[in-house]
Amino acid sequence: MQGLARFLTYRLARMVVALWCVVTVVFIVMRLSGDPVPLLLPPDAPIADMERLRSEMGLDRPIYIQYGVFVRQALKGDFGRSIHFRTSAMTVVWERIPATLELAFASFLCAVVVAIPAGVLSAIKRGGTYDNIVMGVALVGQAAPTFYIGIMLILVCSLWLGLFPTSGRGDWRHMVLPAVTLGAFAMASIARITRSAVLEILRADFIRTARAKGLPEFWTIAKHTMRNAAIPIITIVGLQFGNLLGGAVITETIFSWPGIGRLAIQSIYSRDYPIVQSVVFMTAVMFVVLNLLVDVAYGILDPRIRR
């Protein structure tokens, strides 16, 4: 237990450092990328108005002072005031987190629930028709662009078959098409990695031992194979989940899903750097927490790591 506590403390400290670096980089990059002031005023606004706005936003101070102010406020959870929305940036981002998490979890669930069993079966029935079909579909899922999958799903499942709404957020029906679209890539990756991992394990000596023992095949797979295949599978699942959080922009745009991906892109275009900083920070937090959970899962699943 003491080992686990030390392990956790170490990881938490690393988390904080990672978050800090991420946010600092964003701070620097946003300020170097261009002047947000012209974007806030009408094109025919006089120079004096621009200078006044710049001064009010504190953008005329030297960059190290801006950074100092930023640090002090960030520690209080204040990432500044959105230039576009004229309200606290963190509030704007926070409003969209539920939608983002909803979509990410739904996609993730879709991906895992479909992909892992599919990958395991594929490995077991390697070379057969089932394996070929599943791996073929997985190839399409990884190769087809997200916007293609999304729009095709709208046309077929929504317009033609009338099964689901075309876009927007609402009840569970609204979640299906975006979740499948966003989860397609993850689904495909997880299925393929699961198949490889299981195939690898099935070749191992201890599996031969289990079978020789007379253990029913179901238990051979469920207990011995899966526990060992879990490490690579959890790794890919963790990575894919991180991608789901960050890479949902296209899906969010196609389905008008009010998540942080779309917000991030719009804010980058309009140089609304308080929002960009907040989005990056929240995404980094979610990603880092996720990584921590994956590491803890490793620790629990694989005793070799704990030592």
Partner 1 sequence: MLRDGRITRRGFLAGAAGLLGSMAAAEGLWARVAGAQATSKNTLVIGQSSDISKLDPHLSTTVNDIAVTFNLYDNLLSRHHDGKLYPSAATEWKLVNPTTWQFKLRQGLKFHNGDPLTSADVKFSFERTYDPKAKTNVMSVLNTIERVDAPDSLTVSIVTKKPDPLIAARTAFYAGQIMPKGYFEKVGADEFNAKPIGSGPVKFTSWVKDDRLVLDANKDYWGGKIDVDQIIFRPIPELAARIAALVKGEVDLITKIPPDQMDRVAKASNTKIEGVLYGGLYCLSVVSQKPPLDSKPFRQAMSLSIDRETIVKELWRGQGAVPNSIVVKGDNHYDPSLPPLPYDPNRAKQLIKESNYKGEELVIETGVGFTVLDREMGEVIVAMWKDVGINAKLELIEYSVYLQKIREKSFKGLRWTDPTSAYNDPDGMMWRHLSPGGPNAYWFRNARFDELGNAARFSVDEKLRDEAYKEMTRLELEYLPLIPIIQPMELYGLQKYVDWKPYANQTMEFRRFNLKLNRG
Phi, psi of 61 (to 5 degrees): -85, 160
> Which residue, 232 or 258, has its beta carbon nearer to partner 1?
258
Q: Which of 205, 229, 248 is nearest to 302 (CA)?
A: 229
Which C-beta is closer to partner 1: that of 220 or that of 267?
267
Minimum distance between the CB of residue 19 and partner 1, rounded to whole angstroms?
A: 25
User: Minimum distance between the CB of residue 186 and partner 1, rounded to whole angstroms?
Assistant: 19
Q: How far is the CB of 154 from partner 1 (least distance, A)?
A: 5
Q: Whose Cβ is closer to partner 1: residue 144's or residue 234's? A: 144
Residue 73 or 256 with smaller CB distance to partner 1 = 256
One-letter identity of residue 223: K
If the CB atoms of residues 9 and 55 are measured against partner 1, the closer one turns out to be 55
Are the C-beta atoms of residues 164 and 174 closer than 8 Å to each other? yes
The residues near 277 (Cβ < 8 Å, ≥ 6 apart) are 23, 26, 27, 30, 79, 80, 89
Q: What is the closest distance, in whole angstroms, from the C-beta atom of residue 58 to partner 1 in the complex?
A: 16
SS3 88: strand
Give the nearest distance from C-beta 203 to partner 1 in angstroms: 16
Maximum Cα interatomic distance, the chain, rounded to a whole number of Å = 86
Contacts to partner 1 by CB under 8 A: 34-35, 38-39, 41-45, 49, 53, 84-87, 92, 95-96, 99, 127, 132, 135-136, 139-140, 147, 151-152, 154-156, 158-160, 162, 165-169, 253-256, 258-259, 262-263, 269-271
- CA-to-CA distance for 172 and 186, rounded, in angstroms? 21
181/8 Cα distance (integer angstroms): 35
* Amino acid occupying residue 122: S
Distances (CA, A) of 193 to 107, 175, 285: 18, 26, 26
Q: Provide the minimum distance between the beta carbon of 295 and partner 1 in the complex, in angstroms, as a whole number.
A: 31
Q: How far is the CB of 208 from partner 1 (least distance, A)?
A: 23
- Minimum CB distance to partner 1, residue 156 (Å): 7
* Pick 158 or 235: Cβ nearer partner 1: 158
107 vs 220 by CB, closer to partner 1: 107
Q: What's the rounded Cα separation, in Å, for the pair 181 and 146?
A: 6
C-beta of 91 vs 209, nearer to partner 1 = 91
The sign of the dihedral angle between the CA atoms of 229, 234, 237, 243 is negative
The residue count for the chain? 307
List the beta bridge partners of residue 88.
81
Q: Is residue 141 a contact partner of residue 188, using CB atoms and an 8 Å limit?
A: yes
- Determine the Cα–Cα distance for residues 175 and 116; give it in Å rounded to an integer: 21
